[in-house]
Amino acid sequence: MTGTILVRAEWDPEVGVYTATSEDVPGLVAEAATLEALETKLQTLIPELLELNADIPPKGRTTNQDWTDVPMVLISQHVSKVRIHA
């Protein structure tokens, strides 16, 4: 992947939060009750983690120096049930 950060968020109904991880950002794990809150957290965490891991370039890159206005794709999964007549 070049030029895009892919983040996966899964809903955990037991604790009521989305948990986000990404192979493109070493060490990224974030939780929030809503996707909007999660995205806000990611806007801060991703640049911080990329800076902290400057010696480990993001997947598909040779350096962290060229990261500006990078698209982030947040893929979420939220499973629920719908009651229907059998």
Write down all domains in the chain, each with its CATH number in brackets.
Answer: 5-77 (3.30.2390.10)
- CB neighbour burial string for 54-85, b if at least 16 within 10 angstroms, e if fewer: eeebbeebeebeebeeeeeebeeeeeeeeeee
Position 46 scores a pLDDT of 93
Q: What is the pLDDT along the chain (86 residues), one digit of tens a residue?
A: 357 999 999 999 899 999 999 999 999 999 999 999 999 999 999 999 988 887 655 555 555 555 578 899 999 977 788 999 98
